[in-house]
Amino acid sequence: MAEGPSGTGTPRGNLPPLELHVPEPRYRPGETVDYAHLVIPPAGQLARPDEACAASETWPLTTQMVRVLGDDHKAIGPWNPGLDPETLRRMLRAMALTRAFDDRMYRGQRQGKTSFYMKSTGEEAISIACAFALARDDMVFPSYRQQGILISRGYPLVEMINQIYSNRADRLKGRQLPIMYSAKDYGFFTISGNLATQFPQAVGWAMASAIKGDTRIATSFVGEGSSAEGDFHAAMTFAAVYNAPVVLNVVNNQWAISSFSGFAGAERTTFAARAAGYGIAGLRVDGNDILAVYAATQWAANRARANLGPTLIEHFTYRAEGHSTSDDPNAYRSAREAEDWPLGDPITRLKQHLLALGEWSEAQHEAMDRELAEEVRAATKEAEKNGILGHGLHHPFHTMFEDVFEELPWHLEEQAAQAIRERETKWPDWKE
């Protein structure tokens, strides 16, 4: 018998047994938080390469962090987008409105007006800066935590609440879980519960725009947790191969429900650094610095629009609240994490910047908050006129069977008739 290579059964001397590494977050409930290990470079340090640069030139920008707002609340460095105070105030307002909306809808879920809600607290800068930096007709393929984009683009709050309440005015006819909005006229693609599926779809949309010689670009969002899905790899490969005009965003908020970012690979490298392996430009930004996010998105959008290809942006932020209304983060992480987060709060940081510029005042801020709370309250009241989830039975039964296909095949017509028959037994008094 021929001698094979040494393998199975061969003694290995005194090598230690193999060990499986299962990542563990630094802090569990009740533990003291110390962010000393986090490398947060000072604002204004990183160069801003030309948008036409080779993808490989962005490597330093994927391992470090683009930051514009300094500790003194001044905008500094080559990435400062130089926005005028009026734009800054509008962005501040959109962020504050998103937070006010989240707070109100969260309470609405606790009051039983809807079954479910997901806040974006602490991550508002990412959505709002993206909406401001892109053109109104660029298509967004969002995950479930970019409500700030809809709000920035002026989508009516009442429509959002109608969807959350699944009421009779819900444009999605009560078919979708709350917050899974769809708003084609606002360039906001229908949200799916299946994570990361929108990433290759955005690339496809961008390819279509290129095929048609259009000027519009696409953008998409995943959380760092979902970046582990195969769809992420598919999207990055297709984006690179076809030089698709797309801006791909990873919102690294450190947590995927109860799993810390280490389970998506964060112990080894940054998420932005993955861009290099695909030959795509990459940027890693302070996701709580709205000016940095705006500048990065604008850079990537200009690059895409000039046929220079896709960009991956990692937004480094923190999910300040629970994953959803069905989640209690106190069960798996230290409450101090959010409080001590070294990148602060995106709303506070922009507010401080405007104050430092002399373009804002505490009184104006308080007045704005009161006004926005009233705006959300009024929208809620308006939406409640159309019913809340608890009232149920908002939509004619036949609508449950519509839009499965363009036209109802015989089997769906038969099942619709069955549902309507059952209704007469279950709810004899109910009228469509």
Partner 1 sequence: MIEDAPISLHDAPTRQLNMIEAINEALDVMMARDSNVVIMGEDVGYFGGVFRATAGLQTKFGKNRVFDTPINECGIIGAAVGMAAYGLRPVPEIQFADYIYPGLDQLVSEAARLRYRSAGEFIAPITVRSPFGGGIFGGQTHSQSPEALFTHVAGIKTVIPATPHDAKGLLIAAIEDNDPVVFFEPKRIYNGPFDGYYDKPSRPWKGHPGSQVPEGYYSIPLGKARTVREGSALTVLVYGTMVHVAEAVLAEKGIDAEIIDLRTLVPLDIEAVEKSVEKTGKCLVIHEATRTSGFGAELAALVQERCFYHLEAPVERVTGFDTPYPHSLEWAYFPGPVRIGEAVDRLMKD
Residues at the interface with partner 1 (CB under 8 A): 139, 141, 171-173, 175-176, 180, 182-184, 189-190, 192-194, 197, 199-209, 211-212, 218, 230-231, 233-235, 237-238, 241, 403-406, 409-411
Residue 73 is given by DSSP the state S
DSSP 79-144: T-----HHHHHHHHHHHHHHHHHHHHHHHHHHTTSSS-----TT-HHHHHHHHHHS-TTSEEE--T
Of 406 and 424, nearer to partner 1 (C-beta) is 406
Of 155 and 332, nearer to partner 1 (C-beta) is 155
Residue 114 C-beta: closest distance to partner 1, Å: 17
Among 143, 98, 141, 144, CA closest to 121: 98
**Spacing of C-alpha 23 from chain mean position:** 24
Residue 214 C-beta: closest distance to partner 1, Å: 8
User: What are residue 282's phi and psi, to 5 degrees?
Assistant: -135, 145
Of 200 and 322, nearer to partner 1 (C-beta) is 200
Are 340 and 326 within 8 A, CB to CB?
no
Cα–Cα distance between 200 and 235 in angstroms, integer? 4
Of 366 and 403, nearer to partner 1 (C-beta) is 403
Residue 308 C-beta: closest distance to partner 1, Å: 19
Residue 161 C-beta: closest distance to partner 1, Å: 17
139 token code pair:
């298509």
Are 297 and 266 within 8 A, CB to CB?
no
Of 118 and 320, nearer to partner 1 (C-beta) is 118
Residue 261 is given by DSSP the state G
CA distances from 290 to 129, 156, 287, 298 (A): 6, 23, 7, 12
Cα–Cα distance between 99 and 145 in angstroms, integer? 12
133 token code pair:
């930096």
Residue 234 C-beta: closest distance to partner 1, Å: 3
Residue 389 C-beta: closest distance to partner 1, Å: 17
Residue 233 C-beta: closest distance to partner 1, Å: 8
Residue 91 C-beta: closest distance to partner 1, Å: 27
CA distances from 105 to 149, 164, 374, 389, 423 (A): 17, 8, 14, 13, 31
Residue 192 C-beta: closest distance to partner 1, Å: 6
Of 141 and 260, nearer to partner 1 (C-beta) is 141
Cα–Cα distance between 53 and 247 in angstroms, integer? 16
Of 184 and 431, nearer to partner 1 (C-beta) is 184
Of 75 and 256, nearer to partner 1 (C-beta) is 256
Place of tokens 């094979």: 4
Radius of gyration of the chain (CA): 24
Are 193 and 221 within 8 A, CB to CB?
no
CA distances from 247 to 27, 213, 243 (A): 33, 18, 11
Of 16 and 213, nearer to partner 1 (C-beta) is 213
